[in-house]
Every structure is written in structure tokens, then in C-alpha cells.
Chains A and B, each alone.
Chain A
Amino acid sequence: MINAIYSLIDFTLPFEWTEFSYMKNALLAIILITPLFGLVGTMIVNNKMSFFSDALGHSALTGIAIGVLMGIDNYLISMMGFALLFALCISAVMNSNTSSADTIIGVFSSTGLALGIVLLSASGGFAKYSSYLIGDILTVQPSEIAMLALILAAVVILWYFFFNRFILTSINADLAASKGIHVRRVEKIFVIVVAVIVTISIKWVGVLIINSLLVLPAAAARNMAKSMRSYHFIAVGISLFSGVSGLILSYYTGTAAGGTIVLISAVIFFVSFLATKVRTKA
């Protein structure tokens, strides 16, 4: 299966950068991961939850540390477990309306990060795990690509059946509740989806920039979109474009792929922002 895809890439993209199989893997991973981020990112921006997904990324460090302490080889399990717990805790605290949401998320975020650093440095030096901070898409394995494909499919299916409920809830929870939508349940499902995709991708994208990849394409698309449909298609388009072009550029400039991708989406964001400013003035 994977060899067939490799030869397809060789055939369609006969360039220097596709000669290596790690680049082929990275390309495949990006083709799967960027639409996923574009799709989920739009809803994160709709719900004003960009700070929340950032905190989730930070919590991944604690998840890794727990995995190390428990002697689990696959950190994904401990990361996922901790992130889910973390996400549901934040959403429960947010729902209790005790104090302002961004403060609570800020507290959780820094706690997640600090706890991770402390635990990791205690169990044999933080430097060993610093690769998680910026991630490395070039290390992605074919089995992981298959997993990404499954997750993308699952999210598309979920978005097909649940999106209308998501969007009504994000416009106004009371309004959604009046139509018999279980607002809390919808919010929980969404939080879980974000937790799952953030933790799964952290290894390749990194704690520090994962949120930019989620939020920037959606934020840029928002400047240009005329409806929900164009919003999603533009966001996925920007995400895919900056992912693929960032990967290629990073190969030739010898820079980290994640950072390069984020910079390209940031440029698109600023251009779209200025273009909207100019257009609304004219």
C-alpha cells in the first residue's frame, strides 16, 4: 500500500525533495493533517477557544512526563489520557462560571507546562524531550500516516453529522438549547476532538507551534469568507497550501518544517487582514 503511494508521488512529483522517503512520509502526513487542522481550527476560532487549544498543547508535556514516570513506551497513551482529563476539567470549570474563562485557562496552561518541565527534568533531564517543543514532521512513520488518515475520516464524518449542532451552539448556547440541542454534550464532544487531534499531532508539530497551525488558517479565512462554506474551504485551502509549501521551503532552506509552515500561514493571515481593511475602506 505505502509503496504504491510512494511510486505515485515519484511519478506525479519528480522533484529533488521527494526523493527521500522521509520527505514522502512528511508530505503525506501534511496532506492529511492540514485539512484536519483547517476543519477543527475554524470551529476553535468560532468558539473563541484558541487559548484553550494552546493550553491543551502545553498539557502534553505533563502527559509525556507521566508516561515516562509510569514507564510507558508509547507516550501517546499517557498524553491522550492526561489531555482528555485536562480538557474536561477546563470545560467543567468554565461551565461553572466562577471566574473569567481566559484566566482559568491561563492557570491550567501554565500549570500543565510547569508540571511537565518539573517532572521531566526530575526524571533524567529535560533536554531529551525538548524535541516535543518544536516537533519534527520528518520523523512520521507510515503506520502513523494510516492513523492520521483514520482520524481525518472520523472527524469528517463527525463534522458531517454534528456540524449544524456545533455551529448553532457556537452562535449562542441558549438559542441552541431552545432547539433541543444538548449544549453541554456538544461542547464536550468538541473539546474531546480538539484534545485528541492536538495530542496526536504534538510529536510532529510541537507544543509551541501547534496552536498557530490550528488557529492561523481559520483566522485568515475569516477575513475573506462570505459564508460557512467559503470559510471552511478557504481555511482548509490555506492550511493545505501553507503545509505543503512550508515543507518544500524548509527542505531547501534547511529550516524546521513546523516553524516554516506557521510563518507562511502568518503571512497569508496578514495579507488577508490588510486586504480586508483596504476593501472595507474603499
Chain B
Amino acid sequence: MDTCKCNTKIRNLTVKKRDGILLYDVSLDVHHGEILALIGRNGAGKTTLLKALLGRIPYTGSITYSNARGEMIEKPRIGYVPQNLVFDRSTPVTVADMLCANTSNFPVWLGHKKEKLEQAEKMLAKVGGNASLLPKRIGSLSGGEMQRVLLAFALEPKPDLLLLDEPVSAVDRRGIEVFYDLVTSMRAEHQMPTILVSHDLSHVEKYATRAALLDRTILVSGYVKDVMKTPEVQEAFGLKLTGGAK
């Protein structure tokens, strides 16, 4: 086994809203180098779990992040790649503005420091983009370009947890493969714990190492192959009826 102990632990996480319980007693571990696929029907609470991980909604229970030496991280950095980034498409924010605002303290309304621009260029190169994206407005990017920029944004500074929320829903088929190849190579290189939310079981089987089925709470979790065979997953995705995916 590896010596790296970086991980993310979720314990007894419960999220309540006025009109009911959104999540209860969710416990989940994501370790170094793992890609955990979070699957479940619409409304199962996947987005709620992500919001809790991002600290955007109140919850009970605990979420702890550990670094390579197994020490707790007080202020975790999360690399978040949302499914369709909701933003104002007419904003004059450029790719360079967005990437530099993340890595630099120098205010982007005064421009960019040269070394930060070079860093942004490197970040883009890492995810298969290039410098020509930098001066583009983020509202003018194609789905695939936006996903790359978001991945570059998520990976710098190196995150303690990578969260991919249906990361390819706005990307065409070729783009999907390219994106997942990138994620796989990122995993090989950085080995950060990764949570992947996906509807597409073929992606999950191909790219994830572990899987967890969520429906208000974790119904099953384990290695992808084992989880896929469980009756819970078969039922949730209607596989029994169609007789597919063995």
C-alpha cells in the first residue's frame, strides 16, 4: 500500500430542510488515489451532499480532510468541477481573469502579473488547453473548453479533494473521453481523493475505482464491480427489467 494518507471522511452526515430530511446518516471515505463514483437517481441527494462538502449548507455530522501525513486539514481546498456552471454569460470576465483571480492576490481589475499569466498558461496546458483561451470571455467558451478551464481552475492550488459533478453533461462524446482521460492522468499524477457524480454507469465502470449508491443515505458502497452487481443498483437503474449490464 501507499504511504500517503490523504483522505476525506464523511461521518453521520445529515441534512434537514423544513420540508423534510434530504440526507441522513451518510458515512463515506475517499482515500488517496481513489475515484469514488456517487450514483443514484435524480433527487437522491447527490447535489445536497456536494453542497455540504462545499460548506454551502448547514449539516450535522462531520466531514474531515486529511493530508498526506494523515493530519487533519483545517481549511481544505476543494477542486470543484460543476456540471453546468451557472453564470452570467455576458460577463466580461476572461479565462485569464478567472484563473489569475484564483492564484493571485493582485486584483484582476488592474490586470495580471506576468508570472501569473504564465502559470495560468501552464495550468491550461496541463488540461489540454492552450494560451489562446486566456483572452477569451468565459461566456464565449464551448462546453468542452469550459470544462477544461474549470478543471484547470480546480487543480490549482492542488486540492485536498476533487469533486466532479456530472462534469461532462455539456460536452460532446469525443470531449467526454478526452475529459475522463485527463482525470485519469490527473489521478495518476496527483493521487488526490476524487468524488465523481455521474448518471452514466458506463463512465462509472470505466473510470471510477469505487462506487456508492445514494438514496438519502448510502445504500451500498464498495469496489465498482461489486457495487454494480448488487440488487440495489440494478433496481435503482432499472437494469433488471432491461436485462442489461452484467
Contacts and interface: CB of A to CB of B under 8 A. Distances in A.
Interface of A: 39, 42, 46, 48, 159-161, 163-164, 167-168, 170-175, 177-180, 183, 221-222, 225-232
B54 A167 contact: no
A48 B90 CA distance: 11
A contact face: mostly helix, strand, loop, or mixed: helix
A226 B94 contact: yes
Contacts of A168: 98, 101-102
Nearest to B109: A232
A228 B104 contact: no
A229 B160 CA distance: 32
Contacts of A183: 56
B107 A174 contact: no
B199 interface: no
Given A178-B79, A231-B92, A167 B108 contact: yes
Interface string B88-119: 10111110111011101111111100000000
Nearest to B106: A164
B176 to A, nearest CB: 21
Nearest to A178: B80
A227 B109 CA distance: 8
Contact of A173 (B56, B79, B110, B163): B56
Given A172-B87, A175-B153, A222-B92, A229 B102 contact: no
Contacts of A174: 51, 54, 56, 80, 82
Contact of A177 (B56, B85, B94, B98): B56
Interface of B: 51, 54-56, 75-80, 82, 85-88, 90-94, 96-98, 100-102, 104-111, 135, 137-138, 150, 153-154, 163
Nearest to B96: A227
Nearest to A48: B88
Contacts of B93: 167, 171, 227-228
A171 B106 CA distance: 18
B224 to A, nearest CB: 25
Contact of A180 (B75, B86, B107, B153): B75
A231 B93 CA distance: 9
B108 A171 contact: no
Given A225-B92, A226-B94, A175 B82 contact: yes
